[in-house]
Amino acid sequence: MSVARIKADEMPAMDRDWWRGAVIYQIYPRSFQDSNGDGIGDLLGIAQRLPYVASLGVDAVWISPFFTSPMKDFGYDVSNYCDVDPMFGSLADFDAVIHTAHQHGMRVMIDLVLSHTSDQHPWFQQSRLSRDNDRANWYVWADPKPDGTPPNNWLSIFGGPAWQWDGGREQYYLHNFLTSQPDLNFHEPAVQDALLDVARFWLDRGVDGFRLDTINFYMHDAQLRDNPPLPPEMRNATIAPRVNPYNHQEHLYDKNQPENLDFLRRLRAVMEPYGAAAVGEIGDAQRGLELLGEYTAGDDLMQMCYAFEFLGNARPSAREVAQVLNRVDEVATDGWPCWAFSNHDVTRHATRWDLDHAGVKLMATLIMCLRGSTCLYQGEELGLREAEVAFEDLQDPYGIEFWPEFKGRDGCRTPMVWEASNQNGGFSTGMPWLPVSHEHLQRTVAHQEEDPAAILHHYRRVIAFRHAHPALARGDDGKVNATGPIVHFTRSHEGQTIFCAFNLSDEPAVIDMPQGAWTQIGQELGSIGPQPDGKLHLGPWQPSLALKMKA
Active site residues: 213, 281
Long-range contacts (CB closer than 8 Å, 24 or more residues apart) made by 233-241: 234/286, 235/285, 236/285, 236/312, 237/285, 237/312, 237/313, 238/285, 238/288, 238/308, 238/309, 238/311, 238/312, 239/157, 239/283, 239/284, 239/285, 239/308, 240/157, 241/402, 241/405, 241/406
Strands of 163-166's sheet, edge to edge?
141-142, 171-174, 163-166
d(CA 416, CA 29): 10
d(CA 204, CA 220): 30
What is the Cα gyration radius of the chain? 23
Q: What is the DSSP letter of 101?
A: H
Long-range contacts (CB closer than 8 Å, 24 or more residues apart) made by 345-348: 345/311, 345/409, 345/412, 346/311, 346/409, 346/412, 347/313, 347/386, 347/411, 347/412, 348/377, 348/379, 348/380, 348/384, 348/385, 348/386, 348/411, 348/412
Q: What is the DSSP letter of 18?
A: T
Q: What is the DSSP letter of 549?
A: P
Query: CB neighbours of 533 closer than 8 A, spacing ≥ 6?
Result: none
Residues 136, 127 contacting (CB under 8 angstroms): yes
What residue type is 233 in one-letter code?
Answer: E
Instruction: Identify the bridge partners of residue 61 per DSSP, sorted by sequence position.
Output: 25, 108
Q: What is residue 43's three-state secondary structure? A: helix
CB-side neighbour CA atoms (13 Å) of 55: 10
Among 445, 522, 511, 455, smallest CA distance to 484 is for: 511
Among 65, 187, 43, smallest CA distance to 118 is for: 65
d(CA 162, CA 152): 9
Residues 442, 283 contacting (CB under 8 angstroms): no
CB-side neighbour CA atoms (13 Å) of 477: 26
Instruction: Calculate the alpha carbon distances from 328 to 41, 291, 323, 358, 478 in Å.
Output: 37, 10, 9, 27, 12
Query: CB neighbours of 269 closer than 8 A, spacing ≥ 6?
Result: 300
